[in-house]
Amino acid sequence: MDTTRTGIVGGTIVTPDRVLQGGELVLAGERVAAVRATPGDASDLDRRIDAEGRYVIPGLVDLHGDDVERFLSPRSGERIPVRSALRVADRHTIGAGVTTKFDAVAFEDAPEKNRSIDVATDLLDAIEREDGLAADHRFHARCEVTDPASVAEVRDVADRDVVDIVSLMAHVPESGQFDDEGAFERRYADGRGAAADAVERLGRERAAVPAERRRERASDLANGLADADVVLASHDDADAAAVERAVSDGVALAEYPLTIEAARRAHELGVATAMGAPNVVRGGSLWDNLDAREAIADGLVDALCSDYRPQSLLESVFVDTGESLSERVARVTSEPAAVAGLDDRGRLEPGARADVAVVDPEPTPTVTRAFVGGRESYCYRP
């Protein structure tokens, strides 16, 4: 067991309830040993790291990051070996300060989106067996309920130890986030060379599945996963009724509610709500859905996810939402950790897992060091 004692001194340390200027964070092996308002005696340390001018925060916890899919298929029709794509994505992940990553992978046969159920399963296998990754990778299985093969596969893999989140989604033209005409075709083409006729065909196939049938599949899968150790999530809830249906199925996480009505109903029902960090950083939804800053101002957002851009989580911490720095940090650390049932991490306090990011805020927030379970997994030297 590693018993190395590391002191990170001189920075701005962000704890759950206060911000310490010029203090010291002490790591002992895999755990946080002490948080000091002033640096202590260095004689009990094996090494000391100067963090003056930098922020010292918990490692970020990302409940939904699907960027690994882009490393698998940088362009339509191109396929990078799964292991290679995962390792490259991992380096981007840790460089963005994300120490716990739920790789959100879609189980859907959609060549137009460079996705397939077989590739999703291959990626799950790789995450389960791969050694030497810098971050702690978990799996978030995204089930496309318009596709019975997706439902069947997700049901089969949900009891694997690495699968911690299952989200229910239905990407259908003129529904949910694709409610305006042509939105499905524009977004499934995704700028990576997908053929327009193939995307149109996929849209027709999905639209042919009646809404009631999609609802039955989601409910059946949720019931089938009742005994699995997974967090069940809904996706793109459009209104209060959609949230209520999801909660009746046992959903505990509402991802990316499309309206303030849906976010408010989730909050009223005690369901955690997650929105996209890119939305916060940009100052609005890319697709004219709910503005995450508006939802935050109303107290309706528990966690932020990177969605497709890992660095957005760290950037969101430095967006002024009128809250304290500790509150903004919690939304990307301790709060998502709690949603996932990972109570050992996401905060800088004695006994917590030593997941830490040291951040240079200027000229743009940049991770200079990252520790995962007390092990230094990333160090940037310009």
CA distance 81 to 223: 35
Note the pLDDT of residue 176.
63
Residue 173: pLDDT over 80: no
Q: pLDDT band at 135, cuts 50/70/90? A: very high
17-26, 195-204, 324-333, 367-376, range with the lowest pLDDT: 195-204
Q: pLDDT band at 139, cuts 50/70/90? A: very high
Q: What is the mean pLDDT of residues 370-374?
A: 98
Note the pLDDT of residue 298.
98
Note the pLDDT of residue 204.
80
Note the pLDDT tens digit of each residue in 73-122.
988 778 999 999 999 999 999 999 999 999 999 999 887 678 899 999 99
CA distance 121 to 105: 9
Count of CB atoms situated within 10 Å of the CB of 210: 9
Classify residue 319 as exposed, middle or buried by CB count within 10 Å of its CB (0-12, 13-18, 19+).
Answer: middle
Of all residues in the chain, the percent with pLDDT exceeding 70 is: 92
Which tokens go with 254? 């509402």
CA distance 139 to 65: 10
Residue 72: pLDDT over 80: yes
Residue 194: pLDDT over 60: no
Note the pLDDT of residue 304.
98
Residue 186: pLDDT over 70: no
CA distance 338 to 252: 12
Residue 192: pLDDT over 70: no
Average pLDDT, the chain: 93
Of all residues in the chain, the percent with pLDDT exceeding 90 is: 82
For the chain, list the domains and their CATH numbers. 5-57+346-379 (2.30.40.10), 60-339 (3.20.20.140)
State the Rg of the chain over Cα: 21
Q: pLDDT band at 184, cuts 50/70/90? A: low
The answer to whether residues 346 and 334 touch, using CB atoms and an 8 Å cutoff, is: yes
Note the pLDDT of residue 75.
84
CA distance 190 to 287: 13
The answer to whether residues 145 and 237 touch, using CB atoms and an 8 Å cutoff, is: no
Note the pLDDT tens digit of each residue in 294-306.
999 999 999 999 9
Note the pLDDT tens digit of each residue in 147-162.
999 999 999 999 999 9
**Three-class SS string for the chain?**
CCCCEEEEECCEEECCCCEEECCEEEEECCEEEEEECCCCCHHHCCEEEECCCCEEEECEEEEEECCHHHHHCCCCCCCCCHHHHHHHHHHHHHHCCEEEEEEEEEECCEHHHCECHHHHHHHHHHHHHCCCCCCEEEEEEEEECCCHHHHHHHHHHCCCCCEEEEEEECCCCCCHHHCCCCHHHHHHHCCCCCCHHHHHHHHHHHHCCCHHHHHHHHHHHHHHCCCCCCEEEEECCCCHHHHHHHHHCCCCEEECCCCHHHHHHHHHCCCEEEEEHHHHHHCCCCCCCCCHHHHHHCCCCCEEECECCCHHHHHHHCCCCCCCHHHHHHCCCHHHHHHCCCCCCCCCCCCCECCEEEEECCCCCEEEEEEECCEEEEECCC
Note the pLDDT of residue 182.
64
